[in-house]
């Protein structure tokens, strides 16, 4: 009987690992090629994950997923968009998020492979001087360099990978994002970088004190004596510095979208979402496509009143992580929120799995039963 249990456990472990490898491969393949088939595969993988997480979800967790399915179906029909893929993502990505939260031992090698491949491919393109908007991916912009870097590094951090590997990938991903010319990615990932340094400085106080003291003494002297040379070098070397020097943190099209939605807001929008009854015109103002460049506008335009519940969970998760002193995960959630505010990354996307997994990890008592809470305990972060 014991042998049968061990065999079943081993099969379950390898099944989860395979799901992780396939999910990450499909995400990268979709970013590279733009083929919708990879999105469907990720939906299918999310659905398969139910077999590995159903013993651990609480009634609240199941109720949350059912509500997502009901509201996404209702508002998809009311908006007359009939994007049934949105409904599938709304149901399957929380399921895969549960897999990430509960099986973090199995996540280690798939996450390392995902992060390594993303860093190597994007790093090679940057070193070789490729046009990051046209030559790197067949159908995606340079913004997805940071997307791949941030989410693959997040998976490495919450896995059981060693701290040395995490620090190494932190440096590599930071460099990739710095040279990707993405303002929002640079600013949002700086939060993770800052908290990571602070968290590790607390572990190695003497070494950190010496390094910080040296930097505080030397850096002001260097800056005062070589201000012009340093600025000229950064301006000529880093596109993100040139874009920030233009004096704007965002494009006018994004502000036009926000202003348009603000002007058309009414009582029906409060209940049914901003795009009810095919009234979707504002999202086209940014670049001529149905893309408001803001995940939270997209969430509210689709789910209406129910989206306020998700906003509540995001706020609750932030407060909970801060109170638990899980500052690194807190910084990742801040990073996700900041990044989602400038692009459509979350809500009816495969990237939802990472956001929901972070919410699940911060609120295990709500989403998991006793077995799930024990299995999802935060470790080695």
Residue whose structure tokens are 């620090």: 167
pLDDT digits (tens, 9 = 90+) for 275-319: 665 556 676 666 656 666 777 777 777 777 778 888 899 999 999
Pick out the chain residues at pLDDT < 70.
1-11, 78-83, 201-255, 262, 264-281, 283-292, 378-381
pTM for the full model? Answer: 0.82
Place of tokens 């908007």: 133
- The SS3 call for residue 52 is helix
DSSP, residue by residue, 207-245: HHHHHHHHHHHHHHHHHHHSHHHHHHHHHHH-HHHHHHH
Q: What is the dihedral of CA 370, 350, 29, 99, to 10 degrees?
A: 0
C-alpha–C-alpha distance, residues 19 and 117, integer Å: 17
Asked if residue 366 lies in contact with residue 61, where contact means CB atoms within 8 angstroms, the answer is yes
Burial of 47 (0-12, 13-18, 19+ CB in 10 A): middle
Residue 226 φ/ψ, nearest 5 degrees: -130, 35
pLDDT for 186: 79
Comparing C-alpha atoms, which of 103, 196, 185, 197 is closest to residue 157?
196
What burial letters (b/e) apply to 218-238, b meaning 16+ CB within 10 Å? Answer: eeeeeeeeeeeeeeeeeeeeb
Confidence (pLDDT) at 304: 72
Average pLDDT taken over every residue of the chain: 79
Spatial contact of 193 and 328, defined as CB atoms under 8 Å apart = no
């Amino acid at each position: 009987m014991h042998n049968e249990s061990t065999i079943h456990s081993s099969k379950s472990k390898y099944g989860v690992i395979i799901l992780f490898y396939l999910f990450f491969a499909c995400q990268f393949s979709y970013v590279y090629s733009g083929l919708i088939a990879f999105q469907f595969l990720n939906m299918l993988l999310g659905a398969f994950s139910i077999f590995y997480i159903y013993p651990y979800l609480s009634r609240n967790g199941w109720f949350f997923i059912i509500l997502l399915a009901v509201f996404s179906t209702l508002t998809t029909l009311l908006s007359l968009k009939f994007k049934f893929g949105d409904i599938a993502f709304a149901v399957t990505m929380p399921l895969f998020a549960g897999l990430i939260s509960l099986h973090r031992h199995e996540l280690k090698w798939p996450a390392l492979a995902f992060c390594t491949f993303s860093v190597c491919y994007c790093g090679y393109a940057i070193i070789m001087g490729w046009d990051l908007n046209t030559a790197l991916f067949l159908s995606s912009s340079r913004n997805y360099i940071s997307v791949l870097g941030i989410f693959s590094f997040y998976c490495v951090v919450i896995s059981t990978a060693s701290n040395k590997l995490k620090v190494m990938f932190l440096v590599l991903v930071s460099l990739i994002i710095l040279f990707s010319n993405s303002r929002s990615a640079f600013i949002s990932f700086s939060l993770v970088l800052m908290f990571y340094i602070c968290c590790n400085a607390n572990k190695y106080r003497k070494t950190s004190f010496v390094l910080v003291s040296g930097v505080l003494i030397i850096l002001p002297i260097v800056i005062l004596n070589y201000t012009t040379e340093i600025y000229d070098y950064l301006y000529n070397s880093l596109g993100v510095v040139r874009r920030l020097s233009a004096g704007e943190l965002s494009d006018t099209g994004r502000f036009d979208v926000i202003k348009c939605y603000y002007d058309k807001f009414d009582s029906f929008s409060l209940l049914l979402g901003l795009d009810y009854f095919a009234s979707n015109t504002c999202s086209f103002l940014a670049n001529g496509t149905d893309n408001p460049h803001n995940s939270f506008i997209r969430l509210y335009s689709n789910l209406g009143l129910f989206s306020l519940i998700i906003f509540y969970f995001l706020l609750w998760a932030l407060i909970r992580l801060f109170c638990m002193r899980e500052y690194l995960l807190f910084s990742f959630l801040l990073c996700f929120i900041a990044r989602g505010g400038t692009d459509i990354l979350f809500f009816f996307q495969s990237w939802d799995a990472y956001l929901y997994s972070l919410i699940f990890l911060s609120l295990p008592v709500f989403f998991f039963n006793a077995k799930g809470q024990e299995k999802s305990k935060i470790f080695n972060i």
